Amino acid sequence: MSGFAFDPCDKCEQMMQPYMDRVLTDAEIQEAEEHLAGCEYCRKRYRFEEEFRTFVRQAVSEPMPPELKERLRSLRTPL
Amino acid sequence: MSDASESSARQLATDARDRVRFEEEALDLSDQVYGVARRLVGSREEAEDLVQETYARAFRSWRSFQPGTNLRAWLFRILTNLNIDRGRKVQRTPDLQPLEESDYFLYNKLEESGTDGAPPDERRVVERLSQNDAVTALADLPHDFRDVVLLVDLADFTYSDAAQILDIPIGTVMSRLHRGRRMLKGALATSAADES
């Protein structure tokens, strides 16, 4: 970290993806959560990120056609 | 029966049992394999072909799977390799557009675009995005970035599993993921602005 003015919201923003991906250390998680507890601005954006990830996952998901499942079963080695 | 033929009969029975178990476990993962395949290629038909090829190859080479290791990652490795073999052109590194600097910018854009003036609930803000735009934005990502985004964000693989599946360093997974997600958000911010 440089010695210049340090904005805790910037830091929190940088931690958002790794936080959601669960790759932060315990100390970093604590740091993010302490900031979030007192910062409505970042809290909203973290909540949005969660909603956004769920949205994307649902938006791009398409169930497998049942006929395909049957075709895959037929590829098994006959006993 | 001689001892030798008895032992080879036992071996055959064990093999058959292992193979059946392997095939059933692989089939249990087929919805997830299809889900990613569908977004790796442009059409449902291509996705079906790709998944069939993946399972045909997996069943043929089941002996090369080490029991106790990650079957899901093993299947996805076949899937992504086949997708590349199917003639997906090796892409020239795309001319990378500058990324939005902030990871908060999509939210900020959507919040601004509200018409009623009242600050919206963040859970409602996401409703300003359209499903079709998400599908298009994902399809428009350069392959290398899309592969990583799909494996991590759709199939829930860890960075390290994604690195093994794609045979790239973990640092490359992280940078492609970072960039891919930003590009996706950038595209969605643009389409949301166009539609409002």
As a whole number of angstroms, the distance between CA B148 and CA B150 comes to 5
Q: What residues in A contact B159, CB-CB < 8 Å? A: 21, 23
CB contact under 8 A, B122 and A51: yes
- Average pLDDT (B120-143) is 89
Residue A2's pLDDT is what? 45
Which of B27, B35, B102 is nearest residue A72 as measured by Cβ atoms?
B27
Using a CB–CB cutoff of 8 Å, tell me whether A55 touches chain B.
yes
Give contacts of A48 with chain B, Cβ < 8 Å. Answer: 106-107, 122-123, 125-126
Q: Is B187 on the interface with A (CB under 8 A)?
A: no
Calculate the average pLDDT of chain B: 88
* Residue B116: predicted pLDDT: 58
Work out the burial of residue B185: count CB atoms within 10 Å of its CB; fewer than 13 is exposed, 13-18 middle, 19 or more buried: buried
Q: Does A24 touch chain B (CB under 8 A)?
A: no
Q: Cα–Cα distance between B146 and B181 in angstroms, integer?
A: 9
Phi, psi of B127 (to 5 degrees): -70, -10
Please, are residues A45 and A17 in contact by the beta-carbon 8 Å criterion? no
Q: Does B138 touch chain A (CB under 8 A)?
A: yes
Q: Which of residues 60-89 of B touch A (CB under 8 A)?
A: none
CB under 8 Å to B116, separation ≥6 — which residues? none
What gap in Å lies between CA B184 and CA B129, rounded to an integer? Answer: 12
Let me know: does B147 contact B40? Beta carbons within 8 Å: yes
* Interface contact A78, partner B, CB < 8 A: no
Confidence band for A6, pLDDT divided at 50, 70 and 90: confident
pLDDT for residue B98 is more than 80: no
Q: Is the CB of B122 less than 8 angstroms away from the CB of A59?
A: no
pLDDT of residue A1: 46
Contact list in A for residue B16 (CB cut-off 8 A) is: 79
Reported as a pLDDT band with limits 50, 70 and 90, residue B4 is confident
ipTM > 0.90, yes or no: no
- Which whole-number Å values give the CA distances from B160 to A20, A26, B128, in the listed order? 16, 19, 34
For the segment B13-72, what is each residue's pLDDT rounded down to a tens digit?
Answer: 888 888 999 999 999 999 999 999 999 998 999 999 999 999 999 999 999 999 889 999
Contact B52 A55 (CB under 8 A): no
pLDDT surpassing 60 at residue B1: no
pLDDT over threshold 90, residue B152: yes
Nearest chain A Cα distance for residue B23, angstroms: 7
Interface size between A and B, measured as CB pairs under 8 A: 99
